[in-house]
Amino acid sequence: MVSAPRVVGVTLGLVGAGAVLGALAGGVSLGFSLAITDPQLSAEGLAFGAFLGAPLGAVTAPVLSWLLLRRVPLGRMFAGLVAGTIFGGIIGWLTTTPGGEIEVNGLAGAFIGCLVAGITLRYRARDAHRLEACRSR
């Protein structure tokens, strides 16, 4: 049986790591997007992306890890989620239609990219677990 203090400690660790890595992913995503579309603002984009990415990462990291990614190693989980967030944010930013909310699309793209990466990691871990179980028979 798992104790409540251990669950709280792990969750707080996931919140902290999610905030740091969410800030990294948000900064890289927005900085790179601005470097493509408006190179003069790319330095400010790093700070603003980190400002928006930290709370998003602090919320999504524990939720995804407890609900979807229990069997995925933490390093692989965070690397996959950060990569998905970066690519999703860039794609969301660059595919905004004229007159659309470019910031909202960038954030939505980052969130969707993170979810797609999480779902992909879950199914890959499930398939690897099944393959290992078949090999052990």
Where does residue 47 rank: exposed (0-12), middle (13-18), buried (19+ CB within 10 A)? middle
Please give the residue range of the domain that contains residue 34.
Answer: 4-136
Query: What mean pLDDT is reported for the chain?
Result: 90
* pLDDT classification of 135: cutoffs 50, 70, 90: confident
Number of domains in the chain: 1
Considering the entire predicted model, what is its pTM?
Answer: 0.89
pLDDT 10s digits, 40-97: 877 788 889 999 999 999 999 999 999 999 889 999 999 999 999 999 999 999 998 7
CA dihedral 20, 92, 69, 24 (to 10 degrees): -10
